Homo-oligomer: A and B are copies of this chain.
Amino acid sequence: MNKKAIILLSGGLDSATCCAIAKDHGYLLYAISFDYGQRHNVELDAAKRVADYFSVVEHKVIRIDGSVMATSSLTSKISVPKNRDIDSDLEIPNTYVPARNTVFLAYALAYAETLGSQDIFIGVNALDYSGYPDCRPAYIAAFETMANLATKAGVEGKKLTIHAPLIHLTKAQIIRQGVGLGLDYGITHSCYDPSPNGLACGECDSCILRKKGFAEAGVQDPTVYRGALS
């Protein structure tokens, strides 16, 4: 019988690639997405498209009271920074959402134990990223250690693994891997600050990283950016 994997699915490029990798490894996919009051909640439509694309067994969309994370530009009226020089500006930007991955992984842990799954996939990466602390290898390792102490399954020796298969890859390498697995990135969404009709801004960190990734990978970017239309 195939093993079950829980996939944190935002609907972005990275989590879609995680789906492709887990599927390629023969897992049955259980996706979990979060509606936490993010300004780019259009990503949840992309999450649904990705979930359908990979024929996941179940796609849970969990509603989260975002008031405990309201200091971020993604969850409040603060402006999302544009055209930041990601390589030289090492400050953690205001798009950082307090403890977001910890809340998401905590739900994934509960879901995993409930389903009898020992494998959680998360699409964090620590190279082409915005410097969020909860995307770093040391954080993922510490979460895994904690998770195995937290649960009945852990006590019973059913070790849980947090898979972060993209963590040491550049965005270009991620894209090449996804394309190699047949993934159509046209169904994904990355922009933090899309227009009401869902068009990507092309200028936030997430768009910059996405554009750079496709350019470096030599793969055509299927995204329509707002600026490109004007």
Contact = CB atoms under 8 A, between A and B. Distances in A.
A110 B62 contact: no
A131 to B, nearest CB: 9
A102 B98 contact: no
A2 interface: no
A75 to B, nearest CB: 10
Interface string A13-55: 0000000000000000000100000000000000000000000
A198 interface: no
Given A142-B145, A151-B133, A98 B110 contact: yes
B109 A102 contact: yes
A67 B60 contact: yes
Nearest to A107: B68
Given A106-B99, A146-B145, A152 B133 contact: yes
Nearest to A156: B92
**Top 8 A-B pairs, shortest CB-CB distance:** A99-B110, A98-B113, A106-B106, A142-B146, A68-B111, A139-B149, A99-B109, A103-B106
Interface of A: 32, 60, 62-63, 65, 67-71, 92, 96, 98-103, 105-107, 109-111, 113-114, 133-134, 136, 138-139, 142-143, 145-147, 149-152, 154-155
Given A98-B114, A103-B109, A136-B149, 14 more contacts: A32-B68, A68-B114, A69-B110, A69-B114, A92-B155, A98-B152, A99-B107, A99-B109, A102-B106, A102-B147, A103-B106, A133-B149, A133-B155, A134-B149
21 contacts: A60-B68, A63-B63, A63-B65, A68-B110, A68-B111, A69-B114, A70-B114, A99-B110, A99-B151, A102-B110, A102-B150, A103-B109, A106-B106, A133-B151, A138-B149, A139-B146, A142-B142, A142-B149, A143-B146, A145-B145, A146-B146
